[in-house]
Protein backbone atom coordinates (compact mmCIF):
# COMPACT_ATOMS: atom_id res chain seq x y z
CA UNK A 1 0.00 0.00 0.00
CA UNK A 2 1.35 3.42 -0.90
CA UNK A 3 1.20 6.15 1.73
CA UNK A 4 2.04 9.72 0.72
CA UNK A 5 2.98 12.41 3.21
CA UNK A 6 5.09 15.46 2.41
CA UNK A 7 7.68 16.68 4.89
CA UNK A 8 5.85 20.03 5.12
CA UNK A 9 2.65 18.34 6.22
CA UNK A 10 4.57 16.07 8.58
CA UNK A 11 6.33 19.07 10.13
CA UNK A 12 3.08 20.95 10.68
CA UNK A 13 1.44 17.94 12.30
CA UNK A 14 4.45 17.42 14.58
CA UNK A 15 4.56 21.09 15.60
CA UNK A 16 0.80 21.18 16.25
CA UNK A 17 1.14 18.06 18.41
CA UNK A 18 4.00 19.68 20.29
CA UNK A 19 1.83 22.80 20.84
CA UNK A 20 -0.86 20.58 22.39
CA UNK A 21 1.85 19.08 24.63
CA UNK A 22 2.75 22.55 25.90
CA UNK A 23 -0.91 23.27 26.74
CA UNK A 24 -1.15 19.89 28.49
CA UNK A 25 1.89 20.85 30.60
CA UNK A 26 -0.01 23.82 32.09
CA UNK A 27 -3.28 21.90 32.39
CA UNK A 28 -1.64 19.09 34.38
CA UNK A 29 -0.72 21.58 37.12
CA UNK A 30 -4.47 22.18 37.55
CA UNK A 31 -5.68 18.61 37.05
CA UNK A 32 -3.42 15.78 38.22
CA UNK A 33 -3.75 12.66 36.07
CA UNK A 34 -5.61 10.20 38.36
CA UNK A 35 -3.54 7.02 38.38
CA UNK A 36 -1.12 5.51 40.90
CA UNK A 37 -1.41 7.36 44.23
CA UNK A 38 -3.76 9.93 42.63
CA UNK A 39 -6.27 7.37 41.32
CA UNK A 40 -9.98 8.12 41.71
CA UNK A 41 -13.35 6.45 41.16
CA UNK A 42 -14.89 9.65 39.78
CA UNK A 43 -13.41 9.28 36.26
CA UNK A 44 -15.77 6.55 35.05
CA UNK A 45 -15.11 2.80 34.70
CA UNK A 46 -11.90 1.39 36.14
CA UNK A 47 -9.54 -1.25 34.80
CA UNK A 48 -6.84 -3.33 36.43
CA UNK A 49 -3.70 -1.24 37.00
CA UNK A 50 -1.28 -3.76 35.43
CA UNK A 51 -3.49 -4.31 32.39
CA UNK A 52 -3.77 -0.53 32.03
CA UNK A 53 0.02 -0.15 31.95
CA UNK A 54 0.33 -2.91 29.38
CA UNK A 55 -2.28 -1.60 26.92
CA UNK A 56 -1.18 2.03 27.32
CA UNK A 57 2.46 1.40 26.64
CA UNK A 58 2.43 -1.50 24.19
CA UNK A 59 0.41 0.67 21.80
CA UNK A 60 3.44 2.77 20.91
CA UNK A 61 5.39 -0.27 19.69
CA UNK A 62 2.44 -1.59 17.69
CA UNK A 63 2.02 1.76 15.99
CA UNK A 64 5.72 2.36 15.37
CA UNK A 65 6.31 -1.08 13.83
CA UNK A 66 2.96 -0.83 11.99
CA UNK A 67 4.21 2.26 10.12
CA UNK A 68 7.53 0.60 9.36
CA UNK A 69 5.75 -2.44 7.91
CA UNK A 70 3.40 -0.21 5.94
CA UNK A 71 6.03 2.10 4.46
CA UNK A 72 9.55 0.67 4.63
CA UNK A 73 11.37 -1.89 6.76
CA UNK A 74 14.86 -1.89 5.20
CA UNK A 75 16.35 1.01 7.16
CA UNK A 76 19.94 2.02 7.83
CA UNK A 77 21.74 0.32 10.69
CA UNK A 78 21.82 3.67 12.53
CA UNK A 79 18.04 4.02 12.31
CA UNK A 80 17.63 0.47 13.62
CA UNK A 81 19.96 1.23 16.49
CA UNK A 82 17.76 4.19 17.47
CA UNK A 83 14.57 2.17 17.08
CA UNK A 84 16.23 -0.56 19.16
CA UNK A 85 16.83 1.86 22.05
CA UNK A 86 13.22 3.00 21.91
CA UNK A 87 11.96 -0.59 21.73
CA UNK A 88 14.12 -1.66 24.67
CA UNK A 89 12.60 1.08 26.84
CA UNK A 90 9.05 0.22 25.85
CA UNK A 91 9.46 -3.55 26.23
CA UNK A 92 10.41 -2.85 29.83
CA UNK A 93 7.57 -0.38 30.34
CA UNK A 94 4.84 -2.51 28.79
CA UNK A 95 5.86 -6.06 29.87
CA UNK A 96 8.42 -6.00 32.70
CA UNK A 97 7.30 -2.95 34.71
CA UNK A 98 3.63 -4.06 35.03
CA UNK A 99 4.76 -7.50 36.25
CA UNK A 100 7.12 -6.02 38.83
CA UNK A 101 4.87 -3.41 40.46
CA UNK A 102 3.28 -4.36 43.78
CA UNK A 103 -0.15 -2.92 43.15
CA UNK A 104 -2.34 -6.03 43.45
CA UNK A 105 -6.03 -5.12 43.37
CA UNK A 106 -5.31 -1.54 42.35
CA UNK A 107 -7.24 0.01 39.46
CA UNK A 108 -6.96 3.04 37.17
CA UNK A 109 -9.68 4.89 35.21
CA UNK A 110 -10.18 3.44 31.74
CA UNK A 111 -10.23 7.04 30.50
CA UNK A 112 -6.61 7.49 31.60
CA UNK A 113 -5.58 4.38 29.65
CA UNK A 114 -7.47 5.75 26.65
CA UNK A 115 -5.73 9.14 26.85
CA UNK A 116 -2.35 7.44 27.10
CA UNK A 117 -3.24 5.31 24.07
CA UNK A 118 -3.95 8.49 22.06
CA UNK A 119 -0.63 9.94 23.27
CA UNK A 120 1.17 6.78 22.18
CA UNK A 121 -0.68 6.60 18.85
CA UNK A 122 0.53 10.08 17.99
CA UNK A 123 4.10 9.63 19.20
CA UNK A 124 4.42 6.16 17.68
CA UNK A 125 3.13 7.53 14.37
CA UNK A 126 5.46 10.54 14.33
CA UNK A 127 8.47 8.32 15.04
CA UNK A 128 7.38 5.48 12.74
CA UNK A 129 6.75 7.79 9.77
CA UNK A 130 9.99 9.64 10.44
CA UNK A 131 12.17 6.51 10.49
CA UNK A 132 10.36 4.87 7.57
CA UNK A 133 10.24 7.90 5.34
CA UNK A 134 12.40 10.86 6.25
CA UNK A 135 15.36 9.69 8.39
CA UNK A 136 18.61 9.60 6.45
CA UNK A 137 21.53 8.95 8.79
CA UNK A 138 24.96 8.14 7.40
CA UNK A 139 26.63 5.07 8.93
CA UNK A 140 29.25 7.28 10.60
CA UNK A 141 26.49 9.15 12.53
CA UNK A 142 27.41 6.96 15.52
CA UNK A 143 30.72 8.91 15.78
CA UNK A 144 28.97 12.28 15.72
CA UNK A 145 29.26 14.15 19.08
CA UNK A 146 25.43 14.55 19.10
CA UNK A 147 24.96 10.80 18.93
CA UNK A 148 27.62 10.12 21.56
CA UNK A 149 26.33 12.78 24.00
CA UNK A 150 22.74 11.68 23.36
CA UNK A 151 23.34 7.99 23.94
CA UNK A 152 25.27 8.70 27.14
CA UNK A 153 22.33 10.77 28.42
CA UNK A 154 19.86 8.11 27.26
CA UNK A 155 21.66 5.29 29.07
CA UNK A 156 22.22 7.39 32.21
CA UNK A 157 18.56 8.44 32.27
CA UNK A 158 17.36 4.88 31.75
CA UNK A 159 19.62 3.58 34.53
CA UNK A 160 18.32 6.25 36.94
CA UNK A 161 14.72 5.56 35.94
CA UNK A 162 15.01 1.78 36.37
CA UNK A 163 16.94 1.96 39.62
CA UNK A 164 14.51 4.52 41.10
CA UNK A 165 11.47 2.47 40.02
CA UNK A 166 13.07 -0.60 41.61
CA UNK A 167 13.69 1.19 44.91
CA UNK A 168 10.12 2.50 44.95
CA UNK A 169 8.60 -0.88 44.08
CA UNK A 170 10.66 -2.54 46.84
CA UNK A 171 9.37 -0.12 49.48
CA UNK A 172 6.37 -2.46 49.69
CA UNK A 173 6.70 -6.03 50.85
CA UNK A 174 4.67 -8.47 48.71
CA UNK A 175 0.99 -7.95 49.54
CA UNK A 176 1.44 -4.47 51.06
CA UNK A 177 -0.43 -1.56 49.46
CA UNK A 178 0.51 1.61 51.41
CA UNK A 179 3.16 4.27 50.86
CA UNK A 180 6.43 4.96 52.70
CA UNK A 181 8.99 7.75 52.53
CA UNK A 182 11.84 6.72 50.21
CA UNK A 183 15.32 7.51 51.56
CA UNK A 184 18.90 7.51 50.29
CA UNK A 185 20.61 7.83 46.88
CA UNK A 186 18.91 10.52 44.70
CA UNK A 187 15.87 10.48 47.01
CA UNK A 188 18.03 12.59 49.32
CA UNK A 189 17.65 15.45 46.83
CA UNK A 190 14.38 14.84 44.97
CA UNK A 191 11.06 13.10 45.49
CA UNK A 192 10.91 11.56 42.00
CA UNK A 193 14.25 10.28 40.63
CA UNK A 194 12.32 7.89 38.36
CA UNK A 195 10.62 10.79 36.60
CA UNK A 196 13.89 12.77 36.54
CA UNK A 197 15.63 9.77 34.91
CA UNK A 198 12.92 9.41 32.29
CA UNK A 199 13.19 13.11 31.37
CA UNK A 200 16.99 12.77 30.96
CA UNK A 201 16.49 9.62 28.90
CA UNK A 202 14.23 11.26 26.31
CA UNK A 203 16.37 14.39 26.23
CA UNK A 204 19.19 12.01 25.24
CA UNK A 205 16.99 10.43 22.56
CA UNK A 206 16.14 13.85 21.11
CA UNK A 207 19.85 14.69 20.93
CA UNK A 208 21.03 11.36 19.52
CA UNK A 209 18.38 11.38 16.78
CA UNK A 210 18.73 15.17 16.25
CA UNK A 211 15.18 15.07 14.94
CA UNK A 212 11.83 16.86 15.17
CA UNK A 213 9.92 13.79 16.47
CA UNK A 214 12.67 13.30 19.07
CA UNK A 215 12.15 16.87 20.30
CA UNK A 216 8.36 16.51 20.24
CA UNK A 217 8.58 13.31 22.27
CA UNK A 218 10.86 15.00 24.79
CA UNK A 219 8.48 17.99 25.13
CA UNK A 220 5.57 15.63 25.80
CA UNK A 221 7.58 13.64 28.35
CA UNK A 222 8.56 16.84 30.14
CA UNK A 223 4.93 18.05 29.98
CA UNK A 224 3.64 14.82 31.52
CA UNK A 225 6.30 14.22 34.12
CA UNK A 226 7.19 17.61 35.62
CA UNK A 227 3.62 18.37 36.79
CA UNK A 228 3.32 14.73 37.94
CA UNK A 229 6.50 15.07 39.99
CA UNK A 230 5.11 18.22 41.62
CA UNK A 231 1.85 16.40 42.39
CA UNK A 232 3.79 13.46 43.95
CA UNK A 233 5.95 15.89 45.94
CA UNK A 234 2.90 17.79 47.25
CA UNK A 235 1.22 14.47 48.07
CA UNK A 236 4.25 13.34 50.14
CA UNK A 237 4.27 16.61 52.03
CA UNK A 238 0.55 16.41 52.75
CA UNK A 239 0.70 12.79 53.90
CA UNK A 240 3.95 12.69 55.92
CA UNK A 241 4.55 15.39 58.56
CA UNK A 242 8.20 14.24 58.82
CA UNK A 243 8.85 14.49 55.06
CA UNK A 244 12.39 15.87 54.50
CA UNK A 245 11.84 19.65 54.05
CA UNK A 246 14.80 20.33 51.76
CA UNK A 247 13.98 17.72 49.17
CA UNK A 248 12.98 19.13 45.75
CA UNK A 249 10.35 17.60 43.47
CA UNK A 250 12.26 16.54 40.34
CA UNK A 251 15.42 18.55 39.58
CA UNK A 252 18.08 18.39 42.32
CA UNK A 253 18.66 21.77 44.05
CA UNK A 254 16.33 23.55 41.59
CA UNK A 255 12.63 22.47 41.50
- By CB under 6 A, residue 172 contacts ligand NDP: yes
Among 94, 194, 209, 211, which residue interacts with ligand NDP (rule: CB under 6 A)? 194
Kindly state the DSSP code that residue 3 receives in the 8-state scheme. -
Cα 88 from Cα 92, distance rounded (Å): 6
Kindly state the DSSP code that residue 190 receives in the 8-state scheme. B
Q: Is 93 exposed, middle or buried (0-12, 13-18, 19+ CB in 10 A)?
A: buried
Among 46, 195, 219, 250, which residue interacts with ligand NDP (rule: CB under 6 A)? 195
- By CB under 6 A, residue 37 contacts ligand NDP: yes
Integer-rounded Cα Rg, in Å, for the chain is 19
Q: CB-wise, 72 or 180, nearer to ligand NDP? A: 180
Among 22, 69, 166, 180, which residue interacts with ligand NDP (rule: CB under 6 A)? 180
Q: Which of 31, 54, 37 is nearest to 168 (CA)?
A: 37
Q: CB-wise, 86 or 147, nearer to ligand NDP? A: 86
Q: Which of 106, 119, 103, 100 is nearest to 55 (CA)?
A: 119
- By CB under 6 A, residue 182 contacts ligand NDP: yes
- By CB under 6 A, residue 121 contacts ligand NDP: no
In the complex, least distance from residue 47 CB atom to ligand NDP, rounded to whole angstroms: 14
Q: Which residues pair with 248 in a beta bridge?
A: 190
Task: Report how many residues bind ligand NDP under the rule CB under 6 A.
Answer: 22
- By CB under 6 A, residue 79 contacts ligand NDP: no
Compute, in degrees rounded to 10, the torsion defined by CA atoms 32, 38, 42, 45: 110
Q: CB-wise, 55 or 225, nearer to ligand NDP? A: 225
- By CB under 6 A, residue 168 contacts ligand NDP: yes
Residues near 40 by Cβ (< 8 Å), separated by ≥ 6? 34, 109
Q: Which of residues 222-241 bind ligand NDP (CB under 6 A)?
A: 224-225, 228, 232
Binding site for ligand NDP (CB under 6 A): 36-37, 101, 103, 106, 161, 165, 168-169, 171-172, 179-180, 182, 194-195, 198, 221, 224-225, 228, 232
Amino acid sequence: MEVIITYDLYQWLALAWMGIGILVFFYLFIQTAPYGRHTTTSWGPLIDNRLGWFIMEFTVLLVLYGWLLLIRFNLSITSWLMIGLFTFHYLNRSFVFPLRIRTSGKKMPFLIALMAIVFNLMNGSLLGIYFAWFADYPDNWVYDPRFIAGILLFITGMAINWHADTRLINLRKPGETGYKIPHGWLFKYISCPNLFGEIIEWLGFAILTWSLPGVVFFVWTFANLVPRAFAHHRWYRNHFSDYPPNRKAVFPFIW
